């Protein structure tokens, strides 16, 4: 059974053709500013290399860092009207508080503090008045193209207030893009609101990106489903990503860790992915990336996303080396082949150091032959120190975890690192993200309001687990290898003491990819 | 003169979360508000009671209610200041300085937020040396200091003045009012003179929380080094023995709000191979009140039970604990003022509905 995994990165777009769990072929093409061009180029390269038609492919999965990059680079964001209900609570804590100023400017157009919202008891917090409506209408008129976010106290228990305001907005402006904080439902209003703002600000861009992918597939007469990998390594349909682009933020590192697992057949390891600008270090546990359970910060913005625990270092092929032997975080990135010394440029990069040390043969080595040996040693020692320190930190109490090194920049430390570290051979090393994207899983979830007086906890959980299993089966998942990823039990005090909202979330590999026995 | 600056607040809040033993509320919002207040109005003087004059009055200021409520019904910048002003107007008492009723959690920061905006100093001390759910558990109450006159203010600015003869009835009435007014209110209570304060307070707790917090910040990600530093700090403190019980992975979290408290139970499977069949169970009533391993009781209130994130060393509140997390579980002996007969009348395990007897760590 054939499928294609595509990783659309900032510098390169990789594509792999998988047959079952076998990597048939992989290609790497430079990324373009327009995603459809990148995807078409990758598909073309793949079709040519494999001399196969793409018609038999059963599905295509894309992992992309487009949306992460947009936030990091402050590009392609449309600032939103952030509506907060429940005035006067939260006075002095406006949406975007403690965000980096540059990001706040790009993401929040205006803040409205309005009435409404609930107390814990379910009672109204403050009244929604005609004054609130007037303020809202005025903002909508002044900013006709701004998406809207709505965050209301206790909307995780009762989303009515947010939904009513959304309906009110759509009654005057049916096309308005709206994200509700209850759609990112976990306890913590600020974190939900932050996630909503980042999400809504990306939605206009997401529509363009997804349309671009779909055009590319159409142009190449590829009729199979298009699936996009999200933060936890499971798949979303393209139209879901148009509504929830923020759910793809960490699909890159997730895919690289899962790809490394697939290629090495290891279930537990530390994965080091050395790229052009950064090194990402994550941990594989029982076949999945270890999740971060702390408040996940995106560019220091507090959110409630469930994401892999990754440490990112400013260490990559294009990282600039300073005269005193320190390096980074600045990097020439994809301009390596014009700016690095070995390519005739005038910037000393970590790649230049690797060539000078004899670890890589690339470009013109004579251009770095005269480099001070002491400098080379100092830089290499520091690189190794930094990487080893973070590997130890990430390993935690599991000090014997194998270490896998992948990525285009793996050469930087090959030969320097301990012999036990596993360096994937080329071309696999540079293609792990695309492999990871191709083996993404499906997730299923079920939720219900349960009365513990009439249904004991264990029975309710079993019932919901079975519903989640059905959900997974309907998406083509293999329930035999299903893992529960989250169980939440939230009391609903306004209904009564014994009423709880139960949510079960699970995931499994797709049925068609059975691991060799 | 020692002052607290906006830049001290990160360490203070870390240390206060540690001492909050699972309760105390999320400090992030309180830090942001306190930072806003100190940035606008300048640093706050931190003083010992000796600096007070004979007829100066100190009041305890803080939030009362289920901590998870503040995660949704956000606090406001001016509420603590407004509550102190309302207290002064309604009781006709001039307040000279503020003190925290519990150093554990967000309540270590609220007095600083109010003090900055009012121009008052804050006392280096508190009424618990940790966090605990009920008013009569404060050292002020145990020393027989009247909790009232006291004033509570809700999110909408409504106030209620309390005049009670004893802490228990004050606690009951306050709790009822809180439940009817959103589940989280600000109170101003326990007016005290200098000499009374000296006798009844836990001395130096704000500075100690800062010290612990600095260790937590300095050793993030290095739990072994962190535990060593903490052990050393606690050894030369008023607290008792420092014990590391082990580490576990969260398998189940049950929580509910009952009678105005966050009540719950957390089950963990031990990470050490040889302890596999012996699950941990952590009981919560706002704070961690009991830790068991299989059938054995490891620790109970009033001793301190703390949960740290295994990877980062960060202390965690009960409401932030989720399925799959890996935690280090610690116990620290309560300071001597909680081991007296008078104290054990109100902070023994039985006072929390627990059956286990108190066996000091």
Which chain B residues are within 8 Å of A114, Cβ to Cβ?
none
* Residue of A293, A401, A457 to mutate for B, most B C-beta atoms under 10 A: A293
| Residue A453 confidence class, pLDDT cut points 50, 70, 90 | confident
Q: CB-based contacts of B70: which residues, under 8 Å, 6+ apart?
A: B25, B26, B29, B63, B106, B184
Reply yes or no on whether the pLDDT at A471 is more than 60: yes
Cβ distance of A493 and B155 shorter than 8 Å: no
Predicted pLDDT of residue A294: 61
Q: What is the DSSP letter of A477?
A: B
Within A101-234, strands assigned E span 108-113, 116-118, 124-126, 148-151, 178-180, 226-229
Per residue in A169-210, pLDDT (tens digit) is: 999 999 999 999 999 877 789 999 999 999 999 999 999 999
The confidence score (pLDDT) of residue A516 equals: 26
Confidence of residue A281 (pLDDT cuts 50, 70, 90): very high
Q: Identify whether the C-beta of residue B104 lies closer than 8 Å to the C-beta of residue B162.
A: no
* β-bridge partners, A60: A4, A226
DSSP 8-state code for residue A234:
B
Q: Which has the minimum average pLDDT: B165-174, B295-304, B341-350?
A: B165-174
Residues of B in contact with A291 (CB under 8 A): 324
Q: Using CB atoms, pick whichever of B26, B76, B314 lies closest to residue A92.
A: B76
- Whether the pLDDT of residue A252 is over 90: the answer is no
**pTM of the predicted protein model:** 0.83
Chain A to chain B Cβ contacts (< 8 Å):
107
Mutate to test the interface with B, among A397, A458, A487 (most CBs of B within 10 A): A397
Q: What percent of chain B has pLDDT over 70?
A: 99
Q: What is the largest CA-CA distance in chain B?
A: 63
Q: What is the mean pLDDT of residues B215-230?
A: 93
A246: distance to nearest CA of chain B, Å?
A: 22
* Helical (H) or strand (E) element with A210: helix A189-219
pLDDT of A514 over the 60 cut:
no
CB B108, CB B82: distance < 8 Å: no
pLDDT in tens, B147-174: 999 999 999 999 999 999 888 899 899 9
pLDDT band at B69 (very low <50, low <70, confident <90, very high): confident
User: What ranges make up the beta strands (E) of chain B?
Assistant: 3-4, 44-47, 58-65, 97-100, 122-126, 150-153, 159-162, 184-192, 202-203, 242-258, 261-270, 280-285, 287-293, 296-300, 304-309, 326-332
Looking at the DSSP bridge assignments, the partners of residue A504 are: A446, A487
pLDDT-derived band at A515 (thresholds 50, 70, 90) equals very low
User: For residue B294, with 0-12 CB atoms within 10 Å meaning exposed, 13-18 middle and 19 or more buried, which class applies?
Assistant: exposed
Specify the pLDDT at position A511: 67
Q: CB-CB: which of A92, A121, A294 is closest to B33?
A: A92
Cβ partners under 8 Å of residue B6, min gap 6: B34, B35, B38, B39, B43
B324-337 mean pLDDT: 92
The answer to whether the Cβ–Cβ distance between B66 and A497 falls below 8 Å is no
Q: What is the pLDDT of residue A517?
A: 23
Residue B122 has pLDDT above 70, yes or no: yes
Is B57 in the A-facing interface, judged by CB distances under 8 Å?
A: no
Gap between the Cα atoms of A24 and A1, Å rounded: 11
More confident residue, A111 or A33: A111
pLDDT on residue A512: 54
In chain B, positions 236-255, which contact chain A (CB-CB < 8 Å)?
247, 252-255
Question: What is the rounded distance in angstroms from the CA atom of residue A325 to the CA atom of residue A378?
Answer: 6
* Residue B353 burial (10 A CB sphere; 0-12, 13-18, 19+): exposed
pLDDT tens, position by position, B47-68: 999 999 999 999 999 998 877 7
Section B249-278 average pLDDT: 84
CA B201, CA A104: separation in Å to the nearest integer? 43
63-102 in chain A: CB under 8 A from chain B: 86, 88-93, 97-98
Q: Which range, A294-303, A325-334, B108-117, is most confident?
A: B108-117
Q: Compute the mean pLDDT over every residue in chain A, rounded to the nearest whole number.
A: 88
Which residues of B are less than 8 Å from A154 in CB distance?
A: 72-73
Please report the pLDDT score of residue B162 as a whole number. Answer: 97
Task: Give A54-77 pLDDT, tens digit per residue.
Answer: 778 888 899 988 888 888 888 899
ipTM topping 0.90: no
Subunit contact A92:B36, Cβ cutoff 8 A: yes
What average pLDDT is seen over chain B? 93
For residues B15 and B127, what is the distance between their CA atoms, to the nearest angstrom? Answer: 16
| Mean pLDDT across A464-484 | 86
Phi-psi region of A415 (alpha: psi -120 to 50; beta: other; left: phi over 0): left
Strand partners, A307: A292
pLDDT of residue A396: 66
Query: Taking 50 as the threshold, does the pLDDT of residue B40 lie above it?
Result: yes
SS3 category, A362: coil
pLDDT of residue B293: 95
> How many Cα atoms sit within 13 Å of A358 on the Cβ side?
3
Interface of A with B in 431-460 (CB under 8 A): 457
Closest by Cβ to B257, choosing from A120, A190, A488: A120
pLDDT digits (tens, 9 = 90+) for A475-500: 778 888 888 878 888 777 655 677 88
């Amino acid at each position: 059974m054939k499928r294609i995994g595509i990783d659309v990165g900032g510098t390169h777009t990789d594509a792999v053709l998988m047959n079952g769990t076998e990597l048939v072929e992989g290609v790497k093409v430079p990324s373009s500013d327009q995603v459809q061009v990148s995807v078409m180029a990758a598909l073309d390269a793949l079709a040519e290399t494999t001399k196969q038609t793409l018609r038999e492919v059963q599905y295509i999965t894309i992992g992309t860092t487009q949306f992460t990059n947009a936030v990091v680079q402050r590009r392609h964001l449309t600032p939103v009207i952030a509506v907060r209900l429940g005035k006067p609570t939260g006075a002095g804590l406006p949406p975007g508080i403690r965000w980096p100023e540059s990001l706040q400017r790009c993401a929040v157009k205006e803040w409205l503090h309005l009435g409404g919202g609930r107390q814990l008891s379910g009672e109204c917090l403050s009244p929604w008045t005609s004054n609130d409506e007037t303020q809202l209408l005025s903002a909508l008129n002044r900013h006709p193209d701004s998406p809207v976010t709505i965050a209301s106290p206790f909307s995780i228990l009762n989303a009515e207030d947010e939904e009513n305001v959304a309906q009110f907005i759509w009654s005057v402006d049916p096309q308005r893009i709206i994200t509700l904080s209850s759609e990112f439902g976990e306890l913590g209003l600020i974190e939900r609101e932050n996630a909503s703002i980042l999400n809504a600000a990306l939605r206009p861009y997401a529509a363009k990106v997804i349309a671009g992918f779909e055009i590319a597939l159409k142009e190449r007469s590829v009729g199979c489903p298009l699936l996009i990998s999200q933060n936890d390594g499971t798949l979303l349909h393209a139209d879901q990503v148009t509504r929830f682009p923020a759910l793809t933020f960490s699909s890159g590192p997730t895919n690289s860790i899962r790809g490394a697992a697939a290629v090495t057949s290891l279930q537990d390891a530390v994965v080091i992915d050395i790229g052009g600008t950064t090194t990402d270090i994550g941990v594989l546990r029982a076949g999945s990336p270890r999740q971060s359970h702390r408040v996940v910060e995106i560019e220091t913005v507090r959110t409630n996303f469930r994401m892999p625990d990754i440490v990112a270092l400013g260490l990559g092929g294009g990282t600039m080396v300073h005269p005193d032997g320190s390096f980074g975080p600045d990097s020439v990135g994809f301009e390596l082949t014009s700016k690095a010394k070995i390519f005739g440029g005038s910037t000393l990069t970590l790649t230049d150091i690797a060539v000078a040390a004899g670890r890589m043969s690339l470009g013109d080595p004579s251009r770095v032959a005269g480099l001070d040996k002491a400098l080379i040693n100092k830089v290499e020692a520091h690189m190794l120190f930094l990487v080893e320190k973070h590997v130890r930190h990430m390993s935690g109490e599991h000090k014997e975890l194998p270490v896998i090194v992948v990525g285009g920049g793996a050469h930087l430390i090959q030969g320097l690192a301990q012999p036990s570290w596993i360096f994937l051979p080329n071309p696999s090393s540079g293609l792990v993200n695309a492999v990871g994207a191709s083996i993404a899983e499906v997730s299923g979830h079920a939720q219900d309001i349960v009365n513990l007086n009439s249904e004991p906890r264990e029975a309710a959980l079993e019932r919901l687990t079975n519903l989640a299993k059905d959900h997974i089966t309907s998406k083509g998942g293999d329930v035999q290898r299903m893992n529960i990823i989250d169980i939440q039990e939230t009391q609903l005090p306004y209904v009564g003491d014994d009423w709880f909202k139960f949510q079960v979330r699970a995931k499994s590999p797709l049925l068609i990819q059975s691991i060799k026995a | 003169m020692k002052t607290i600056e906006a830049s001290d607040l990160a360490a203070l809040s870390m240390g206060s979360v540690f001492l909050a033993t699972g309760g105390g509320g999320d400090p992030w919002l309180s830090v942001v508000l306190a930072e806003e207040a100190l940035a606008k109005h300048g640093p706050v003087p931190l003083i010992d009671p000796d600096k007070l004059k004979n007829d100066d009055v100190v009041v305890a200021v803080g939030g009362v209610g289920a901590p998870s409520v503040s995660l949704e019904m956000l606090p406001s910048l001016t509420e603590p200041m407004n509550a102190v002003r309302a207290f002064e107007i309604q009781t006709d008492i001039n307040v000279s300085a503020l003190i925290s009723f519990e150093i554990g959690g967000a309540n270590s920061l609220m007095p600083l937020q109010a003090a900055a905006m009012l121009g008052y100093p804050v006392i280096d001390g508190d009424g618990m040396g940790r966090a605990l759910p009920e008013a009569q558990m404060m050292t002020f109450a145990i020393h027989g200091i009247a909790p009232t006159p006291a004033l509570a203010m809700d999110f909408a600015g409504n106030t209620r003045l309390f005049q009670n003869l004893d802490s228990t009835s004050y606690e009951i009435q306050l709790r009822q009012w809180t439940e009817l007014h959103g589940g989280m209110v600000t109170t101003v209570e326990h007016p005290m003179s200098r000499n009374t304060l000296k006798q009844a307070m836990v001395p130096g707790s704000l500075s100690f929380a800062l010290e612990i917090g600095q260790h937590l910040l300095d050793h993030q990600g290095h739990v072994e080094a962190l535990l060593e530093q903490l052990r050393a700090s606690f050894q030369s403190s008023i607290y008792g023995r420092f014990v590391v019980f082990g580490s576990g992975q969260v398998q189940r979290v049950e929580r509910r709000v009952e009678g105005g408290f966050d009540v719950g139970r957390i089950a963990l499977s031990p990470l050490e191979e040889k302890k596999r069949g012996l699950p941990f169970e952590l009981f919560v009533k706002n704070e961690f009140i009991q830790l068991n391993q299989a059938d054995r009781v490891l620790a109970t209130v009033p001793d301190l039970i703390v949960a740290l994130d295994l990877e980062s060393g960060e202390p965690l509140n009960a409401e932030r604990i989720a399925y799959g997390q890996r935690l280090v579980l610690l116990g620290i002996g309560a300071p001597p003022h909680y081991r007296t007969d008078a104290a054990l009348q109100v902070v023994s395990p039985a006072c929390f509905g627990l059956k286990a007897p108190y066996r000091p760590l």
